Amino acid sequence: MRIVSAQKAEKLSFAGLWLCTAIVILPVLGITVVLVWRGASALSWDLIVGTPHGLLAPIVGTILLVTLTGLIAAPLGIAAAVYLTEYSRGGPLVRLVRLAIVNLAGVPSVVYGLFGLALFVTLFHFGRSLLAGACTLALLVLPLVISTSEEALRQVPGSLRHASLALGASQWQTVRRVVLPNALPGIITGLILSIGRAAGETAPILFTAAFYSLTDPFPNSLLDPILALPYQLFVMVMEVPNVAPATKWATAFVLLAIVLGMNIVAVILRARLRGSRRW
Amino acid sequence: MSAAEDKYILHPEGEIKIETKDLDMYYGNFQALTDVSVAMPSRHITALIGPSGCGKSSFLRCLNRMNEVIPEARVDGQVLLDGNDIYQADTDVVQLRKRVGMVFQRPNPFPMSIYDNVAYGPRLHTATRGSELDEIVERSLRGAALWGEVKDKLHQSAMDLSGGQQQRLCIARVLAVEPEVLLMDEPCSALDPTATFRIEELMTELRESYTIIIVTHNMYQASRVSQYTGFFLLGEIIEYGHTEQIFENPADRRTDDYVRGRFG
């Protein structure tokens, strides 16, 4: 009797757990299907290069923005991760730094936007610009870059560090010649994922980088504002009347494709490098 | 009479390469070594034996200051290399580790080519390149009895070698920086008997030019390759003397029990 009820309970709990898991994938699937269905069909060459509301300028703006974000966040984040994993030996300061990183990751993105406005746009006189937006986004993704880089560095076995140190290498020589080259694939994967996240963010660039223009959409310098896909979408939906629905769907589709594309590249890269790594 | 003088510690004849005096070592609050005073002669093989956790590996790591890799480790006392204390504040650790090379328990080649593994040390310390570096690589691989097996695939990954070949590659990598002392921390524990035999043969050859100190779990290995043996127990050195004497006629009962396999 007990055995039967245990079996029943097992089946019931299996069904329940399976259902919850299935529900998790529904929104992802739903968003993707709807966007592909309505967005991809609306996408045309004319929509990309045509005016007004051509997608070329916001695509270029987003790519410039995330590239610059990566260029700023990578050296800072990797250096911090190297310090934390390879050099620091604990202590109150390091605990404080880690606490700061964890909390930084929890700060709402709109707060980053306001901070960027106050610091980069106003105080540093960058104005509303590509540079100010990239700096703000770099701050946003920094915790993610640091933690993924730390993870990649920790994957390098200690025995390789010991071998290098025992041959008379300094700490820095060991980091540069053994640890970093072996951690680099993981670091790059983390970086792409982080930048993918930055590509979709709206709030941080709202006050710092993005603008809406039909006449002068391409930036000429780092200090020019830019069109960016998330902001473009926001403006088209909320503020500009009479934009064709197809244009909005196509914009959303392109944004999703860029973000998902970056994630897929990162996942493939990680899988490949994992396969080729041996120690 | 202090506790140290109670022990059966031989002071070898001839030139002493490394000597420790009243060496204590701690991991945090745990004392891993107590009062170890022992002298290891030049161009001989000294074996350090004892049960797991007796401190023999910790002792070995004191001799090239590799214990400093562990944040909590701390050392008291002296380690004299050619009479100079390596724990003095002005010791250049890089120079020390060039002079005192180390081979680890598990083969740990870098995930690079065979050539780059051996060239790693020379590239750190000198600007050697080209044919001069080729010569160092060849000489070191010959020294580690590996040249014949790898000379046609120097630029292939070191990770494709067998475990025994990898360990000899690690020895070649150490030889390339031209050390005076070789520390070996159970170098054969991850190897099969054939590979172990080749490493032991190699050690006997290397003894001509290097002072070798080997930590081993394998008492047959200690008796086969070494001239001097030290027995460690619970962080102390119990007995130190000629290998034959330690294995055939030990003075301390605990040494006797250990080498006869009554515990371990």
Question: Span B185-191, mean pLDDT?
Answer: 90
**Which residue range is the domain that position A216 belongs to?**
45-276
Cβ B145 vs Cβ B155: under 8 Å: no
B111 and A279 within 8 Å at the Cβ level: the answer is yes
What CATH number did the domain enclosing A49 receive? 1.10.3720.10
Domain ranges within chain B, ordered by starting residue: 3-109+181-259
**Whether B98 contacts chain A with CB within 8 A:** yes
**Interior/surface letters A45-78, b for 16+ CB within 10 angstroms, e for the rest:** eebeeeeebbbebbbbbbebbbebbbebbbeebb
CB-based contact B177 A167, cutoff 8 Å: yes
A259 found inside a domain: yes
pLDDT at B99: 95
Examine residue A143 and say whether the peptide bond preceding it is cis (omega within 30 degrees of 0): no
Nearest to A182 among B111, B173, B174 (CB): B111
Cα(A68)–Cα(A130) distance, integer angstroms: 8
Dihedral sign computed on CA atoms, order B195, B196, B197, B202 = positive
Considering the domain boundaries, does residue A247 fall inside one?
Answer: yes
Question: Would you say residue A75 lies in a domain?
Answer: yes
- From edge to edge, which strands make up the β-sheet containing B228-233? B8-9, B236-242, B228-233, B45-49, B211-215, B181-185, B100-103
Question: pLDDT value at position A5?
Answer: 84
Output the six-digit token pair for A21: 């898991």
* Residue B188 confidence class, pLDDT cut points 50, 70, 90: very high
Q: What is the DSSP letter of B34?
A: E
Is A16 domain-assigned? no
Q: Which helix or strand (DSSP H or E) is residue B169 part of? A: helix B163-175
- Pairing mode, if any, of strands B211-215 and B228-233? unpaired
The reply to whether residue B124 touches residue A89, judged by beta carbons under 8 angstroms, is no
Distant-in-sequence contacts of A11-20, Cβ < 8 A, 24+ apart: none
B4 pLDDT band, cuts 50/70/90, is: very low
Selecting from A160, A168, A277 the residue whose C-beta is nearest the C-beta of B98 gives: A168
CB contact under 8 A, B124 and A168: yes
Kindly provide the ipTM of the predicted complex, given to two decimals. Answer: 0.90
CB within 8 Å: B104 and A163 = yes
A213, pLDDT greater than 90 = no
Residue B71: which of A89, A182, A278 has the nearest Cβ? A89
* CA–CA distance, A125 with A128 (Å, rounded to integer): 9
Residue A154 placed within a domain: yes
| B120 neighbourhood in chain A, CB within 8 Å | 164, 167, 169, 177
Size of interface A-B (CB pairs under 8 A): 64
CB of B140 less than 8 A from some CB of A:
no
**DSSP string over A203-218:** HHHHTTTB---SS--S
Helices (H), A107-219: 109-116, 130-154, 158-166, 171-174, 180-200, 203-206
Residues of A in contact with B125 (CB under 8 A): 168
> What is the SS3 string spanning B63-101?
CCCHHHHCCCEEEEEEEEECCEECCCCCCCHHHHHHHEE
Assign a CATH topology to domain B3-109+181-259. Rossmann fold (3.40.50)
* Largest CA-CA distance found in chain B, in angstroms, rounded: 61
pLDDT digits (tens, 9 = 90+) for B202-253: 999 999 999 999 999 889 999 999 999 999 999 999 999 999 999 999 999 9
Among B95, B104, B124, the residue with its CB nearest the CB of A169 is B124
On whether the CB atoms of residues B177 and B126 are closer than 8 A, the answer is: no
In this prediction, residue B1 has a pLDDT band, given cuts at 50, 70 and 90, of very low
The total domain count for chain A is 1
User: Is A159 close to B97, i.e. CB distance below 8 A?
Assistant: no
pLDDT band at residue B156 under the 50/70/90 scheme: very high
Tell me the β-bridge partners of B78. B21
Of B48, B34, B38, B47, the closest CA to residue B16 belongs to: B38
Q: What is the 3-state secondary structure (H, E, C) of B182-231?
A: EEEECCCCCCCHHHHHHHHHHHHHHCCCCEEEEECCCHHHHHHHCCEEEE
Q: Which member of B95, B102, B125 has the closest CB to residue A166?
A: B102
What pLDDT band is residue A6 in, cutting at 50, 70 and 90? confident
Please say if the pLDDT value at position B11 is more than 60: yes
What confidence score (pLDDT) does residue B264 get? Answer: 64
Tell me how far apart the alpha carbons of residues A117 and B174 are, in angstroms, rounded to a whole number.
56
Q: Which of residues 83-112 of A touch B (CB under 8 A)?
A: 89-90
Could you say which residues from 36 to 65 on chain B have a Cβ atom under 8 Å away from some Cβ of chain A?
64
Distance from CA of B108 to the nearest CA of A (A): 6
Q: CB of A205 within 8 A of CB of A113?
A: yes
In single-letter form, the type of residue at position B3 comes to A
Give per-residue pLDDT as tens, B122-137.
999 887 778 899 999 9
Looking at residue B160, the DSSP 8-state letter turns out to be G
Q: Is A279 on the interface with B (CB under 8 A)?
A: yes
